[in-house]
A and B are shown apart, each in its own frame.
Chain A
Amino acid sequence: MEITDEILIDLYKRMVRVRLFEEEAGRLAESARLPGFLHLYVGEEAVASGVCGALESQDQITSTHRGHGHLLAKGGDFNRMMAELMGKSTGYCNGKGGSMHICDLDLAMLGANGIVGAGVPISVGAAYANKLTNNGLISVAFFGDGATNIGAFHEAANMAAALSLPMLFVCENNEYAEYSPRHKTMAITDVIERAAAYGFPGAIVDGMDCVAVFEAASLAIEKIRNGEGPMMLECKTYRFYDHVGVKGTASNYRTDEEVEEMRKRDPLVVHETRLIDSGVMDAESIQAIKDGIQKEVEMSVEFAENSPFPELEDMLLDVYTNGESS
């Protein structure tokens, strides 16, 4: 696996897509133009981008409450994303799911999730389908550090291992679950120790570096596709904003200095520096990428704002397949 210029640029674009969309969503939320809870992914872009960059387009992923980044890094559409966040009928879920339930089955993104840990067993199911139909695909479960304290994660990990399923567990260890620091809720630091407990390999990688994530994910994926059973990649990362919403500083659970320190390792800046230093891109072409994507983001806001809300008579539509609820 050679990491070509093309890959380096691709990883960068994926991260910029996530970052600029998320920043815009944050601004919209702050000015009360988005309803509901917004869990921003800013700071963690290298994880989704590095992993999704290493996948085949039809490999499935399951996501979390912090799911925008996963869908966008897999190639999600800005318009349908933004429309969904606004609850419009043109959104990914026709306005019925919102931020916490965005999905794109065509991109094999099996949904963000409002229930912590709940996506992991679903990924087991997708991996099982892959194995049974021998389609050569793998499934990936993204989950937080906090999610690994819940039963669903443990049952899923054990089952994936016991059935030797083609599945990659990706832990986004950002050191906090809501407002609780990791050390107060687990007696271990590295979630990969939990993979070892269920009998499959895990490795730690710098989750603020998309190339490190991409390379590590690629190494694991190759083996998983080869039939070697599940593996876990733990990405040490950090969310720059608050658990919900934007702010990010002046919190009662982490210091501003800590946030400041981690912002110095901003995954976009780390990668931009590398692109420039290695001569893959210059500052202008980097800016051009950003400008282009920013424009798309702005257009998505316009698209979403001009889109209609769902029709009231569609309330009961899609409760069941083939037939309406009453």
Chain B
Amino acid sequence: MTTVGLIANPLAGKDVRRFTSAASLNSDRSKIEILRRCVLGAIDAGAEKVLLANDFRNLGLRAVDGLNLGSKIEEMSFHPEGRRTDTTEAAKIFKKEGVKSIISLGGDGTQRDLVLGWTDAPLLPISTGTNNVFPFMVDPTVAGTAAGLIASDELIIEEVSQRAKVIHVELPNGIKDLALVDVVLVDDRLTGSRAVVKPDSVKQVLAAIANPASIGLASIAGRSKPVYFDDESAVSVICDPKAKQGVFAPIMPGSVSDVGIVDIKEVELGETIELNGPGVLAFDGERDFVMGENESAKATVLRNGPKVINPNFAVQTAAANKVFLRKRNS
């Protein structure tokens, strides 16, 4: 079966950064409309089935309401709880079901949750989050087309995707976690409202993707020493509010901060970086793990992440292959 997986994080783009910055609200309605366009694009491109991850808002089901696609739409049978782990659980089911491509709506945090469930997922991430370094800004119809063409074997995934880097983190308690964009050590002892909203609290940034043109904590690294998706390296920046040197970085949408930096260094793939407590580790922008005085985490960047499908390139490739030219019945 040529199946496209489709998932949306209902909570993406709704946290406190709407107070502290000019971040916009990503409403359920707008996500529903994006999902609908994805479905239509995918089916039109030849996907036989779209497997919907039933988020707890039923965004997916509401998106296909009235389309009358019958058996072409399948709802995943699991019970979402309205938490981060829903995305991870859904990813595991996508893997088990062997979907050929996944469109995932969310920001960097959502994509990370998905990869936690399926590390080398064939992933087409669409940005509906607050920080969107990893996912694409793309018209969902085009994204649907790209995912559908891959599912129906009109495109070969290896030709239109690239493995992403992953920051693998071993926490002091032995648990393994990961990030796709950045792991940041924050001078704090609480996860609080999760988002990192105090620029001065950033102690260390380890970024696998540090694009000067993107938003979020990784921009501190990106505007110091850029590292791109394709680059076979990562970057580590040590920050200190009292440093002699600063970098102007948009750590939140519309909110550019002068962050003091004391050290910038290139990190090789496979190299282990220590992040020493006390502090809170933020993964892809969210404070998540509190480290005590003598605790430390180990981080290693490897290129063994998801196969990230570039929708524009995929559709361009298909056009070059004349996939869209179809015979008409006269």
Is A204 touching B14 in the complex (CB atoms < 8 A)?
yes
Q: Is the CB of B15 within 8 A of A205?
A: yes
Shortest CB–CB separation between residue B171 and chain A, in angstroms? 14
In the complex formed, the residue of B with least CB distance to A228 is: B19
A216 lies within 8 A of B16 (CB): yes
Q: What residue in chain B is nearest A220 (Cβ atoms)?
A: B19
| Cβ-closest chain A residue relative to B197 | A219
CB of A117 closer than 8 Å to a CB of B: no
Residue among A203, A223, A236 with most chain B CB within 10 A? A203
Query: Which of the residues A201, A205, A215, A261 comes within 8 Å of B25, measured between beta carbons?
Result: A201
| Bound Cα distance from A128 to B92, whole angstroms | 52
Q: Which residues of A contact B14 (CB under 8 A)?
A: 190, 192, 203-204
B293 nearest in chain A by CB position: A279
Report the nearest B residue to A200, measured CB to CB: B18
Tell me whether B192 and A215 are in contact (CB under 8 A).
yes
Q: Within 8 Å CB of A204, what residues of B?
A: 11, 14-15
List of B residues within 8 angstroms of A220 by Cβ? 16, 19
Say yes or no for A231: interface residue by CB 8 A criterion: yes
Give a binary string over A212-236; 1 marks a CB under 8 Å from any B CB, 0 the rest. 1111100110010000000100001
Task: Give the interface size bracket for B toward A.
Answer: 20 to 34
CB distance from B27 to the nearest CB of A (A): 5
Residue A311 at the B interface, CB < 8 A?
no
Contacts of B18 in A (CB 8 A): 192, 201-203
- 1/0 per residue A186-208: CB within 8 Å of B? 00111011001000011111100
**A189 and B290: CB pair below 8 A?**
no
Residue of B nearest to A190 (CB): B14
Q: Is the CB of B192 within 8 A of A203?
A: no
Query: Using an 8 Å CB-CB cutoff, how does the interface string of B165-199 with A read, 1 for contact, 0 for none?
Result: 00000000000000000000000011111100100
Q: Indicate whether A277 reaches chain B with its CB closer than 8 angstroms.
A: yes
Complex contact B10–A193 (CB within 8 A): no
Q: Is the CB of A193 within 8 A of B11?
A: no
State A120–B11 Cα separation when bound (angstroms). Answer: 26
Does A274 count as interface, using CB distance less than 8 angstroms?
yes
Are A278 and B290 closer than 8 Å at their CB atoms? Answer: yes
Residue A319 at the chain B interface, CB threshold 8 Å: no
Tell which of A3, A192, A196 touches B192, judged by Cβ atoms closer than 8 Å: A3
CA distance A11 to B15 in the complex (A): 21
Given A192-B25, A211-B190, A212-B192, A219-B20 contact (CB < 8 Å): yes
In the complex, the answer to whether A274 meets B190 with C-beta atoms within 8 Å is: yes
Q: Is A193 touching B290 in the complex (CB atoms < 8 A)?
A: no
A236 to B17, CA, bound (A): 17
The answer to whether B290 touches A205, judged by C-beta atoms less than 8 angstroms apart, is: no
When distances are taken between beta carbons in the complex, the residues of chain A under 8 Å from B27 are 188, 190, 193, 196
Question: Are A215 and B19 touching (Cβ within 8 A)?
Answer: no
A-B CB contacts (within 8 Å), total count: 74
Cβ-defined contact, B193 with A205, below 8 A: yes
Distance of A215 Cα from B15 Cα, bound (Å): 12
Is B290 a contact partner of A277 (Cβ separation < 8 A)? yes
CB-contact partner of B19 in A189, A211, A223, A274, under 8 A:
A223
Q: How far is the CA of A167 from the CA of B233 in the complex (A)?
A: 48
CA distance A97 to B57 in the complex (A): 39
Residue of A nearest to B25 (CB): A196
Given A189-B57, A205-B193, A277-B290, answer yes or no on A219-B16 (Cβ-Cβ < 8 Å).
yes
- By a CB distance below 8 angstroms, the chain A residues around B25 are 192-193, 196, 201-202
A246-303 at interface with B (beta carbon < 8 Å):
261, 274, 277-278
Contacts of B28 in A (CB 8 A): 188-190, 193
For B193, the chain A residues whose CB sits under 8 A away are 205-206, 212-213, 215-216, 219
Q: How far is the CA of A187 from the CA of B189 in the complex (A)?
A: 38
**Minimum Cβ distance to chain A for residue B232 (Å):** 38
Which B residues lie within 8 Å of A278 (CB)? 189-190, 290
Q: Which residues of A contact B81 (CB under 8 A)?
A: 261
A202 to B11, CA, bound (A): 13
User: How far apart are B87's CB and chain A's nearest CB, in angstroms?
Assistant: 16
Residues in A with CB closer than 8 Å to B11 are 204
Q: Name which residue of chain A comes closest to B56, CB basis.
A: A189
Kindly state the separation between the CA atoms of A205 and B11 in the bound complex, as whole angstroms.
10
- Least CB separation from A236: chain B residue: B82
Q: What separation, in Å, do the CA atoms of A231 and B17 have in the docked complex?
A: 12
Q: How far is the CA of A137 from the CA of B52 in the complex (A)?
A: 48
Q: Which of B19, B82, B191, B192 contacts A231 (CB 8 A)?
A: B19
Q: How near does chain A come to B199, taking the closest CB pair, in angstroms?
A: 13
- State whether A203 touches B190 (Cβ < 8 A): no
* A residues with CB within 8 A of B: 3, 188-190, 192-193, 196, 201-206, 211-216, 219-220, 223, 231, 236, 261, 274, 277-278
Q: Which 6 residue pairs are nearest across A and B when measured between Cβ atoms? A: A215-B192, A203-B18, A216-B193, A216-B16, A219-B19, A215-B193
16 A-B contacts (beta carbon < 8 Å): A3-B192, A188-B29, A190-B28, A193-B28, A202-B18, A203-B16, A203-B17, A203-B18, A203-B19, A205-B15, A212-B193, A216-B16, A223-B20, A261-B81, A274-B190, A278-B189
Interface, chain B (partner A; CB < 8 A):
10-11, 14-20, 25, 27-29, 56-57, 81-82, 189-194, 197, 290
Q: With A201-B18, A214-B192 given, name 19 new contacts (CB 8 A).
A: A188-B28, A188-B29, A190-B14, A192-B18, A193-B28, A196-B27, A201-B19, A202-B18, A202-B25, A203-B16, A204-B11, A212-B191, A216-B16, A216-B19, A219-B20, A220-B19, A261-B81, A274-B190, A278-B190
